[in-house]
């Protein structure tokens, strides 16, 4: 069982969702949102919000933490390579990344996710690149508040986990996460995963600014009014003239996001020859009434607000589910496994997660004592086994001595010598017959091919002759049986007797006469 904390480091609020996993499944235990201060240094507002978030007892002591890189600093590149071999992909990516970034590769941290692979055509990759200093600053801040994330992932690839939860569907879905300052786009198929992802500037802050300009009010007041009364599309018409003016301002504020979404959809279609057929919107802006209707109208694609699975409904109210979508997907990333699970993780090289090594270091003493105990048990087991084997060997020698003393008149403990003496001509065992009717019957039945359907009606056996009567499907199978019996060293001659059809007409009856002669018989007669 593991407690996984998905941490969404938004520019307007920090969200945390705790997922409790076990062999029976996963359940959402808690969801907490903490607003960041509207003014002040960005790093300091994030630090304060994280500390306030982690003070909530319901999120306490997670076994692992998963975060997505915040802000629009992450660059995403779509690469096409003409091969699928993982080693060749790892060797090629550095050169491809270096050719597409405006700074030295040594200043970058990057990782990739396979979007699709076709054996004869190659691989489509999603590559995320961030400056080393950006990641170092984030890791330093997280460590200050006592957070050591196991995974730092791409905010778009994060939604792979949400898509994989759904049944396999040929429909192509775009997940649009409209945050305060950044919008994240992920496109893929349910049950299959993300094939296209990117992040870009623009979001709820643009809508607040458009509202402040329209009504000539301070930005904080516009922000508050948007959260409490803001609406789009037909939802705004019910609020009267002011509501319609605000809705028109919101539409203007939404244009930067739409200008990025439209060409992104076209780029995806150009690469995959598939159209986006549905849009799922999430993030803080997705809570605004009428947003799905407005996006449907502007994009020409059916749009609805994200809803989380039933197991999350108890901990996350319906009105907050769109807000919790990324934190939920991040928590799912912590338990993801298998070929389709995301591999993207910026904790590489000097930033690699060391929690597992530290854990092993703490447990080294226990592991050493366990190893010593196991070694002692193995030694004791060996001593006991040798002692038991020695006693058994003595018992066997005694039995062999008794048998040879009784039959040969002298004790012999060497098995090979005893066996040779018992087989000797002058020994009492020499008078024992080497063949018996039981032996011959066993040899006969073993020689009959297992794939030949045959029923023996009568078998007469003596030490010189065997007579067999039976029924099978065809005369060809009689030949097969005869040929198999001739392969035995003691069956010198096999003669086929009369063959005729049965009364039913679908089988044949037959007779075989087998002359028995073995080398042992000849030696016995000569002696």
Kindly write down the DSSP assignment for every residue of 125-165, as one continuous string. Answer: EEEEEEEHHHHHHHHHHHHHTT---SEEE-TTGGGHHHHHT
pLDDT band at 217 (very low <50, low <70, confident <90, very high): very high
The residue ranges of DSSP E strands in 139-233, in sequence order, are 151-153, 173-178, 182-189, 193-201
pLDDT band at 435 (very low <50, low <70, confident <90, very high): low
- With 60 as the cut, is the pLDDT of residue 432 above it? no
Contact 364, 356 (CB under 8 A): no
- With 60 as the cut, is the pLDDT of residue 426 above it? no
Q: Which two tokens stand for residue 375?
A: 């070694």
Q: Give residue 340's pLDDT.
A: 66
The enclosing H or E element of 385 equals helix 364-408
pLDDT band at 526 (very low <50, low <70, confident <90, very high): very low
Contact 398, 404 (CB under 8 A): no
**Residue where the block lists tokens 């059809």:** 501
Helix-helix angle 240-272:291-299, to 10 degrees: 50
CA distances 265 to 92, 198, 377, 432, Å, are 27, 11, 65, 92
Q: Which position has the higher pLDDT, 364 or 206?
A: 206
pLDDT band at 369 (very low <50, low <70, confident <90, very high): confident
In angstroms, rounded to a whole number, what is the distance separating the alpha carbons of residues 19 and 15?
13
How much is the average pLDDT of 31-55? Answer: 92
In angstroms, rounded to a whole number, what is the distance separating the alpha carbons of residues 145 and 275?
44
- What are the pLDDT digits (tens) for 111-163? 998 888 887 788 889 999 999 999 999 999 999 999 999 999 999 999 988 88
In which residue ranges of the chain is CATH 3.30.1360.100 found? Answer: 437-516
In angstroms, rounded to a whole number, what is the distance separating the alpha carbons of residues 97 and 110?
8
In angstroms, rounded to a whole number, what is the distance separating the alpha carbons of residues 201 and 74?
11
Which of 60-74, 210-224, 265-279, 364-378 has the least mean pLDDT? 364-378
- What are the pLDDT digits (tens) for 97-113? 888 888 888 899 999 98
pLDDT band at 522 (very low <50, low <70, confident <90, very high): very low
Question: Which of 290, 329, 289, 291 shows the shortest CA–CA distance to 308?
Answer: 329
- Rg (Cα) of the chain, in Å, rounded? 41
CA atoms within 13 A on the CB side of 464: 2
In which residue ranges of the chain is CATH 3.30.420.40 found? Answer: 2-352
DSSP state of 409: S
What's this model's pTM, rounded to 2 decimal places?
A: 0.67
In angstroms, rounded to a whole number, what is the distance separating the alpha carbons of residues 499 and 511?
7
Bridge partner residues of 455 (DSSP) = 471
Helical H segments across 238-363, by residue range: 240-272, 291-299, 310-313, 325-335, 355-362
* CATH of span 2-352: 3.30.420.40
pLDDT band at 1 (very low <50, low <70, confident <90, very high): low
In angstroms, rounded to a whole number, what is the distance separating the alpha carbons of residues 163 and 69?
20
* Residues contacting residue 401 through CB under 8 Å, at least 6 positions apart: 411, 412, 413
Q: Give residue 439's pLDDT.
A: 82
Q: Which two tokens stand for residue 403?
A: 């048998």
Looking at domain 437-516, its CATH superfamily turns out to be General secretion pathway protein M, EpsM (3.30.1360.100)
In angstroms, rounded to a whole number, what is the distance separating the alpha carbons of residues 335 and 341?
9
Look over the chain and give the mean of its residue pLDDT values, rounded to a whole number: 86
Q: Which two tokens stand for residue 327?
A: 């934190």
How much is the average pLDDT of 196-220? Answer: 93
Which of 116-125, 269-278, 419-428 has the least mean pLDDT? 419-428
In angstroms, rounded to a whole number, what is the distance separating the alpha carbons of residues 519 and 201?
96
In angstroms, rounded to a whole number, what is the distance separating the alpha carbons of residues 285 and 291?
8
Bridge partner residues of 105 (DSSP) = none
Helical H segments across 31-112, by residue range: 42-54, 86-98
- With 50 as the cut, is the pLDDT of residue 525 above it? no
Q: Give residue 274's pLDDT.
A: 92
DSSP SS3 for 68: strand
Q: Give residue 262's pLDDT.
A: 96
């Amino acid at each position: 069982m593991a407690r996984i904390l998905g941490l969404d480091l938004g520019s307007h609020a920090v969200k945390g969702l705790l997922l409790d996993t076990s062999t029976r499944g996963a359940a959402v235990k808690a969801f907490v949102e903490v607003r960041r201060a509207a003014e002040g240094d960005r790093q300091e507002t994030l630090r304060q919000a994280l500390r306030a978030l982690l003070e909530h007892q319901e999120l306490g002591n997670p076994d692992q933490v998963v975060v997505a890189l915040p802000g629009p600093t992450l660059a995403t590149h779509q690469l096409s390579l003409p091969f699928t071999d993982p080693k060749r992909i790892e060797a090629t990516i550095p050169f491809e990344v270096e050719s597409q970034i405006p700074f030295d590769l040594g200043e970058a941290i990057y990782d990739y996710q396979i979007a699709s692979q076709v054996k004869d055509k190659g691989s489509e990759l999603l590559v995320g690149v961030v400056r080393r200093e950006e990641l170092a600053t984030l890791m330093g801040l997280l460590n200050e508040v006592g957070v050591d994330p196991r995974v730092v992932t791409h905010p778009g690839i994060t939604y792979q986990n949400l898509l994989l939860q759904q049944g396999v569907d040929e429909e192509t879905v775009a997940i649009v996460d409209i945050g305060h300052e950044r919008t994240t786009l992920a496109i893929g198929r349910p049950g299959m995963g993300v094939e296209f992802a990117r992040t870009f500037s623009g979001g709820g802050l643009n809508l607040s600014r458009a509202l402040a300009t329209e009504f000539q009010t301070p930005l904080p007041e516009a922000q508050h009014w948007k959260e409490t009364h803001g609406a789009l599309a037909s939802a705004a018409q019910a609020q009267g003239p002011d509501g319609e003016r605000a809705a028109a301002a919101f539409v203007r504020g939404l244009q930067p996001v739409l200008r990025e979404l439209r060409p992104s959809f076209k780029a995806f279609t150009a690469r995959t020859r598939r159209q986006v057929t549905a849009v799922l919107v999430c993030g803080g802006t997705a809570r605004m009434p009428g947003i799905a209707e407005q996006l449907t109208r502007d994009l020409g694609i059916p749009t609805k607000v994200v809803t989380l699975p039933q197991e999350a409904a108890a901990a996350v109210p319906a009105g907050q589910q769109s807000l919790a979508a990324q934190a939920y997907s991040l928590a799912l990333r912590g338990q993801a496994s298998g070929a389709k699970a995301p591999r993207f993780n910026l904790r590489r090289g000097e930033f690699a997660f060391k929690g597992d090594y530290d854990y092993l270091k703490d447990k080294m003493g226990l592991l050493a004592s366990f190893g010593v105990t196991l070694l002692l048990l193995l030694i004791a087991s060996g001593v006991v086994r040798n002692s038991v084997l020695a006693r058994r060997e003595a018992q066997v020698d005694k039995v062999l001595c008794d048998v040879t003393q009784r039959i040969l008149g002298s004790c012999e403990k060497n098995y090979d010598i005893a066996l040779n003496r018992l087989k000797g001509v002058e020994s009492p065992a020499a008078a024992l017959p080497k063949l018996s009717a039981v032996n011959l019957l066993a040899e006969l039945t073993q020689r009959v091919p297992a794939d030949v359907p045959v029923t023996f009606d009568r078998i007469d056996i003596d030490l010189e002759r065997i007579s067999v009567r039976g029924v099978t499907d065809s005369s060809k199978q009689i030949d097969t049986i005869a040929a198999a019996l001739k392969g035995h060293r003691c069956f010198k001659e096999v003669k086929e007797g009369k063959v005729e059809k049965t009364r039913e007409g679908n089988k044949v009856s037959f007779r075989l006469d087998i002359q028995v002669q073995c080398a042992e018989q000849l030696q016995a007669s000569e002696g």
